[in-house]
Amino acid sequence: MTNGAILIISGPSGCGKSTLLKKVYESIDDYYFSISTTTRSPRVGEQDGVDYFFVSKEEFEEDIKMGHFLEYAEVHGNYYGTSLKPIKQAVEEGKLVIFDIDVQGHDIVRKKLNDIVTSVFITTPTLEELEKRLTSRDTDSKDVIEKRLSNAKTEIKYFQKYDYFIINDDLEEASKQLVSIANVTRIKSKLFEKEKIIDNWLK
């Protein structure tokens, strides 16, 4: 695997990841956004191959046996995982592969592919601000919001495992930071090409 790179984004639901990622997509043309595979049923509006790859439990377990997953986890009786094959291909094609995964997934991917991973943890300035955002977007029940807040408090403890940490306080500033990190990740990964340029300089 040469030339490509992996950018992992983690952060609580409601921290603004999707909005920030849109800015990255506008700025970088050569990226591949990793789509997870899951056994849970599609929610209204979710599309297979866009939001997730939806598969049966049997298919998922067969893929686990075959070693097809880079990482996977079982959450509330459903499997969620990242297939290795499309990632491998995108990295070989020199793309910036972007993952939106949780702290646990970050740990596993970093262990397996440390050399090409850069990671960013994104969060709101305070827990209260996260609660405000989750409440005002009005998509989750009170119970789900409580669960998300409790998860957020647990996940933020692991921020030091990440290369970067962004406080999404000001959207413009936070996007500038994330886009810069994505650009720099690209620059680092192109070192192989650069060595050829040096050879040319010194010939």
Shortest Cβ 202–a copy of itself spacing (Å): 7
Binding residue count for a copy of itself, defined by CB under 8 A: 28
* CA atoms of 165 and 92, how far apart (whole Å): 28
Question: Does 198 help bind a copy of itself (rule: CB under 8 A)?
Answer: yes
Shortest Cβ 10–a copy of itself spacing (Å): 14
Stretch that binds a copy of itself, among 42-50, 58-66, 131-139, 177-185 (CB under 8 A): 177-185
Scanning residues 124 to 153, which ones bind a copy of itself (CB under 8 A)?
Answer: 125-127, 153
Give the DSSP H or E segment for 58.
helix 57-65
| Sign of the alpha-carbon torsion through 21, 103, 108, 116 | positive
Cα 158 to Cα 3, 74, 116, distances in angstroms? 28, 20, 20
* CA atoms of 175 and 21, how far apart (whole Å): 8
Question: Does 158 help bind a copy of itself (rule: CB under 8 A)?
Answer: no
CA angle 72, 73, 75 (to 5 degrees): 145
Strand partners, 164: 120
Stretch that binds a copy of itself, among 18-26, 70-78, 95-103, 175-183 (CB under 8 A): 175-183
By the 8 A CB rule, do 109 and 70 touch? yes
Binds a copy of itself by CB under 8 A, chosen from 56, 138, 143, 201: 201
Scanning residues 3 to 62, which ones bind a copy of itself (CB under 8 A)?
Answer: none
> Which positions lie near a copy of itself, rule CB under 8 A?
123, 125-127, 153, 156-157, 159, 164-167, 176-177, 179-181, 183-184, 187-188, 191, 194, 197-198, 200-202
